[in-house]
Amino acid sequence: MHDLVSALGGKTFEGFAKIREIGPLGMISLRCDLRQKPLAAALKKLGLSVPAARRIVQKGGRSVGWMSPDELLVILPYADVGSTLETLRNALAVIHFLAEDVSDARAVFRIEGEKAEQILSKLCPVDLAGLEPGELRRTRAAQVAVAFWVEDGGYTLVSFRSVASYVMGLLTHSATKGSEI
């Protein structure tokens, strides 16, 4: 097995909050009618359940986030993607669905520290004070699409892989010491 290289190779920045590019993280894009029973059953096998609109359900190193009325994002260890895809495809075979590995199409960042929220408030048109626990927020960071949620006392932010360097630049700029709001 060859080494997996994330978009930025684990770049970090220490400003008034800490920025880390992590990953690669396993991600499966799953599309189907979210009310279908086989979906709930399939997610149950993974220890998860169908998230409500704009929520993310996390359990035992796996999570599943609501992306749109007919799309979920399953997040899991990279090594488990192949087997999980198979599990999902088998379980959902009776319904109309799409399950694709998108792990490599993404870049994942951690934003940690007491003032981590300020960094996102500079880039995303989101009322972070209103962000509820377990909420997955799809939005933009400056000019590109991102999604983020609260996890382990910080934020996990996902962007497309090709713009990882741009996103890292945004986060670095916003977290530069002296820029505290």
Partner 1 sequence: MSTRLAKGGRLIDRSTRAEFMFNGKRLSGHQGDTLASALLANDQMLVGRSFKYHRPRGIMAAGPEEPNALVNLGHGDRVEPNQRSTTTELFPGLVAQSQNHWPSLEFDVGVVNSYVSRFLPAGFYYKTFMQPRAAWKHLFEPVIRQSAGLGPAPKSPDPDRYEYVYGFCDVLIIGGGIAGLQAALTAGQAGKRVMLIEQTPHWGGRAVVDGDVVEDEPAEDWVKSAIDALATMKNVTLRTRCMGAGVYDHGYVLANERVADHSPGDGRPKQRLWRIRAGHIITATGAIERPLSFAGNDIPGVMLAGALRDYLVNYGVSLGDRTVIVTNNDDAYLTAIALAEAGLAVPAILDARTEVTGDLPERARALDIRIEAGRAVARVKGGKRVTGVEVCLQAGEGAVLEEIVCDAVAMSGGWSPVVHLWSHCGGKLTWSDHISAFIPDTTRPPITHDGSPMVTVVGAAAGIYRTDDIITSSGVVENTSPVPPVWVMPQGAPVALRSKMWLDYQNDVKVSDVQLAAREGYESVEHTKRYTTLGMATDQGKLSNINGLGVLSDALGEDIPRVGTTTFRPPYTPVTIGALTGEARGELFQPLRRTPMHDWHEANGVYWEPVGHWRRPYCYPRNGETHAQAVHREVLNTREKLGLLDASTLGKIIVKGPDAGRFLDMMYTNMMSTLPVGKCRYGLMCDEQGFLSDDGVVARIDEETWLCHTTSGGADRIHGWMEDWLQCEWWDWKVYTANVTEQYAQVAVVGPNARKLLEKLGGMDVSKEALPFMQWADGTLGGFAVRVYRISFSGELSYEIAIRASHGAAFWEMLHKQGAEFGAMAYGTECLHIMRAEKGFIMIGDETDGTVTPLDLGLSWAISKKKTDFLGKRGMERSHLADPDRWKLVGLETLDGSVIPDGAYAVVDGVNANGQRNVEGRVTSTYYSPTLKRGIAMGLIKHGPDRMGEVVTFNKVDGGTIAAKIVDAVFFDKAGEKGNA
What's the min distance (Å) between Cβ of 46 and partner 1? 20
Site for partner 1 in 112-151 (CB under 8 A): 121-127, 129-130, 142-144
Q: How far apart are the first and last CA of the chain?
A: 46
Element (H, E) at 26: strand 26-32
CA angle 67, 161, 46 (to 5 degrees): 45
Q: How many CA atoms lie within 13 A of 68 on its CB side?
A: 7
164 sits near partner 1 (criterion: CB under 8 A): yes
CA-wise closest residue to 92 among 52, 41, 28: 41
| Stretch touching partner 1 by CB under 8 A, among 10-18, 43-51, 108-116, 154-162 | 154-162
Contact pattern for partner 1 over residues 65 through 94, marking x by CB under 8 A: -----x------------------------
What's the min distance (Å) between Cβ of 55 and partner 1? 21
Residue 77's contacts (CB-CB under 8 Å, 6 or more residues apart) are: 25, 26, 61, 62
| Stretch touching partner 1 by CB under 8 A, among 36-44, 53-61, 149-157, 161-169 | 161-169
Residue 130's contacts (CB-CB under 8 Å, 6 or more residues apart) are: none
Q: Of 47 and 82, which CB lies nearer to partner 1 in the complex structure?
A: 82
- How many of the other CB atoms lie within 10 Å of CB of 141? 25
DSSP 16: S
Site for partner 1 in 3-32 (CB under 8 A): 3-7, 24, 29, 31-32
Q: Of 43 and 123, which CB lies nearer to partner 1 in the complex structure?
A: 123
54 sits near partner 1 (criterion: CB under 8 A): no
CA-wise closest residue to 166 among 67, 21, 27: 21
Q: Residue numbers of the site for partner 1 (CB under 8 A)?
A: 1-7, 24, 29, 31-32, 70, 96-98, 100-106, 121-127, 129-130, 142-144, 160-166, 169-170, 173-174, 176-179, 181
